[in-house]
Chains A and B, each alone.
Chain A
Amino acid sequence: MSTVARSSWLRDLVHKPFFWGLIAILALLFLNVLKDPNYLAVTVNPVNGNLVGNLVDILRASAPILMVAVGMSLVIATGGIDLSVGSVMAVSGAVAMVFMKNAGQSDSIGVALGAIGLALLVSAILGVVNGVLVAYVGLQPFISTLIMMLAGRGIAKVITEGQNTSASNEPFRWIANGFLLGLPVVFLFAILIVAIVGFVVRRSALGLMIEAIGINPKASRMAGIRPSGLLLTVYILSAVLAGVAGIMSVGTVMTVDVSRTGYQIELDAILAVVIGGTSLSGGKFSIGGAVVGALLIATLDKTVVFLGISSSATPAFKAIVIVVLCLLQSERVRSWFVQRRKPPQVQLDQKPVPSKQEVAA
């Protein structure tokens, strides 16, 4: 591992796996600027001093995606997948809304905290089910979370009795719509949670152990890691983060739409992880990469709507991005490039770089 000493920070950045994600965000923003030169303008609301603008909207929209993307990147690092995040979001949102509707008291902080606590608890229970099925029963992650994805939407519908449920609670609304220091609270929350998760997994051996399971579960057990407990933790964490995402996304409109809340967000999460440069076969993860990925997806969503394309068509664009990225990751396409380029600089040894500063990216 002889990294060239004279490499500048720019070169470091270019070699980061999520570099192309950053480029893509800039390209999308540029596209929007072409349509409306004032797109990037961020103004200060004279009444309350909040920042207003498309960029702020993008940050706000990226918060739930950030949550599920971070959870998903840890799950994928263990060689698994969590398809149930969208359904867990719906369940968490449904629990919070029904609780607040029954509690009344539209400005009580206690009720808001109770709703959040209960929603996260229920999400954690769903995560326990996923984790036990994967870690202790030994089912394929794909199928156990698929079942949870099926059943989760049903559970959400049962909780709300099939209705879209609304409630009013100011403190709860503030989480999703409020501003702190001029920035959306929801984004600050998301970044804070991401920073905590990133700090815990990268400052302790936890991250390494998670990656070890993804590389080779048997070898990691021989090395003294207990895969079952760690797997369970990772699935619980993913579900709890999805629960947070659910609270964020129902909070914006204070309504849970059981069939739309979190619908297809698992694709967004997987996409964010892939954009972040994490291979889907497991064994490594990059929290910073997931953040870039989530921001890119939020930008893509907003761009598609801004350009006047039906928002139900966005999946097609995301699918094309996924296919292109998967192609770029594949050995065959890489070998084409290596042959074109004369110096055979094979960069197989891309160790996941500890990402402390990237979190703030």
Chain B
Amino acid sequence: MTTVQTPRVDAPVEESALSKIAARMKRVVSSNPSVLPTLAAIVIFIVMVIYGEIAYGRIVQYNTLSNLLINNAHLIILAVAMTFVILTGGIDLSVGSIIALSSVAGVILANAGWDPWLVIGMMIVIGTVFGLTSGILIQYFNVQPFIATLAMMFLARGLAALLSTRPERLDEESPIRWLGEQFKLIDGEKVNDVVVTPGVIIALLVVLVAFFVLHRTRTGRTVYAIGGSESSSALMGLAVPRTKVLVYVISGTLSGVAAVVYTSRLGIAQNITGIGWELDAIAATVIGGTLLTGGYGYVLGSVVGALVLGLMNVLITRDGGIPPEMTTIITGGILLVFVLLQRAVISKRHT
């Protein structure tokens, strides 16, 4: 077992023969069992798409899939943020509240006539400050990650409530709304178009940069090493304290970015925005195959996890027979199954 593992995300798509794929998968899984949850997530996503197409129709088409991306751009960003933190073995519960504070503050400032660039900068910086505070508490004052970020969660939520407890509407003419505007890439028949928003592009950029940082830089390798064993990586001379603070700063900053993307799409901010999103982000990350104990995981897996959650919501809406109250139970159930799967994989690796 190696502490630092360079993950491989090689889903063999081009192979034509099914058996060949199976054999290849088997080899990948047996050489590195920790890819199993990620593969499972991909399989589940594909199964959900096929099931949805057969049962409800109109799933595998341009507009449904582009809407899936548009509506979940913020969740993808949050899942990426959470991946960094969970890889080090930590947790960040403050992401949802940071979004609430950052969007409420942003909308109020924008409506007060601030320069849009400045507003966007402020929204992101709010996230950074909260992330930095959690990071310092965790690294230098030995507060458990879970407690420190829980405190930040309530601090941000409370501050958002102090700013305003009513829904704040972004001005119709505000340039920030441009980020949520839809652009047709491919003009299909009727409304069946491939559509993107600048928000989606931001999310994809975040994913690409995160992928590069985690898998191709020294910082990324340190993140994995800390999750493997913090004391060993400190003994190896890696920059543990700096990196640990950094992952929370990244997480906070990306929460700020997610706030920008979400607010620009919806145009409304409220102090109760984002309740429970930290759970969605954790679920997306765990479904995507990142171990909660840290050290193993893939940022692309988290993206798949976020899409699985998004697609689940689409299917539940389409079905109509499932009461919306069941959504949280189903999310919880899926999360449980994946955590159990992780346990099975871990115990397999140790035998």
Contact = CB atoms under 8 A, between A and B. Distances in A.
Interface in A101-154: 133, 137-140, 142-144, 146-151, 153-154
Nearest to B133: A323
Nearest to B150: A267
A243 to B, nearest CB: 19
Given A158-B325, A267-B150, A314-B158, A140 B142 contact: no
A349 to B, nearest CB: 19
B348 to A, nearest CB: 14
Contact of A320 (B155, B162, B276, B279): B155
Interface stretch (A170-178, A199-207, A329-337): A329-337
Contacts of A229: none
A318 interface: yes
Interface in A235-270: 264, 267, 270
Nearest to A138: B343
Interface of B: 91, 137, 140-144, 146-148, 150-155, 157-159, 161-162, 165, 271, 276, 279, 282, 292-293, 323-333, 335-336, 339-340, 343
A139 B343 contact: yes
Contacts of A320: 155
Nearest to A263: B275
B296 to A, nearest CB: 15
A41 interface: no
State the majority secondary structure of interface residues on A.
Answer: helix
Given A150-B335, A318-B158, A319-B154, 16 more contacts: A146-B279, A147-B335, A151-B332, A157-B323, A157-B328, A158-B325, A161-B323, A161-B325, A270-B150, A313-B159, A315-B161, A316-B158, A316-B161, A323-B137, A323-B143, A332-B141
A318 B155 CA distance: 8
B329 to A, nearest CB: 4
Interface of A: 81, 133, 137-140, 142-144, 146-151, 153-155, 157-158, 161-162, 264, 267, 270, 280-281, 309-310, 312-320, 322-323, 326-327, 330-333
6 contacts: A144-B339, A146-B282, A158-B326, A158-B329, A319-B153, A331-B142
A316 B325 contact: no
Contacts of A150: 276, 279, 328-329, 331-332, 335
Contacts of B292: 140, 143
B154 A147 contact: no
A10 B4 CA distance: 55
A133 B336 CA distance: 10
Question: Which of A139, A264, A315 is the most central at the interface, judged by chain B CB atoms within 10 Å of its CB?
Answer: A315
A148 B331 CA distance: 11
Question: Which of B140, B154, B155, B162 is the most central at the interface, judged by chain A CB atoms within 10 Å of its CB?
Answer: B154
Given A150-B328, A158-B326, A316-B154, A310 B146 contact: no
Nearest to A330: B141
Contacts of A330: 141-143
A111 B137 CA distance: 50
B343 A326 contact: no
A327 B140 CA distance: 10
Given A148-B332, A154-B328, A162-B325, A270 B158 contact: no
Contact of A326 (B147, B279, B332, B336): B147
B154 A318 contact: yes
A318 B158 CA distance: 9
B271 A312 contact: yes
B323 A316 contact: no
Given A143-B292, A151-B333, A319-B155, A312 B161 contact: yes
Contacts of B152: 319
B151 A319 contact: yes
A138 B344 CA distance: 11
Contact of B162 (A144, A270, A316): A316
B323 A326 contact: no
A304 B91 CA distance: 30
Question: Which of B151, B333, B335, B340 is the most central at the interface, judged by chain A CB atoms within 10 Å of its CB?
Answer: B151
A226 to B, nearest CB: 21
Contacts of B143: 323, 326-327, 330
The 9 A-B residue pairs whose C-beta atoms are closest, nearest first, are: A316-B158, A151-B332, A157-B325, A315-B154, A154-B329, A319-B155, A154-B328, A312-B161, A150-B332
Nearest to B134: A323
A142 B292 CA distance: 10
A133 B142 CA distance: 28
B141 A333 contact: yes
B340 A137 contact: yes
Contacts of A280: 144, 147
A154 B332 contact: yes
Contacts of A147: 332, 335-336, 339
Contacts of B158: 312-319
A154 B147 contact: no
Contact of B325 (A154, A281, A319): A154
Nearest to B325: A157
B205 to A, nearest CB: 30
B332 A322 contact: no
A326 B154 contact: no
A151 to B, nearest CB: 3
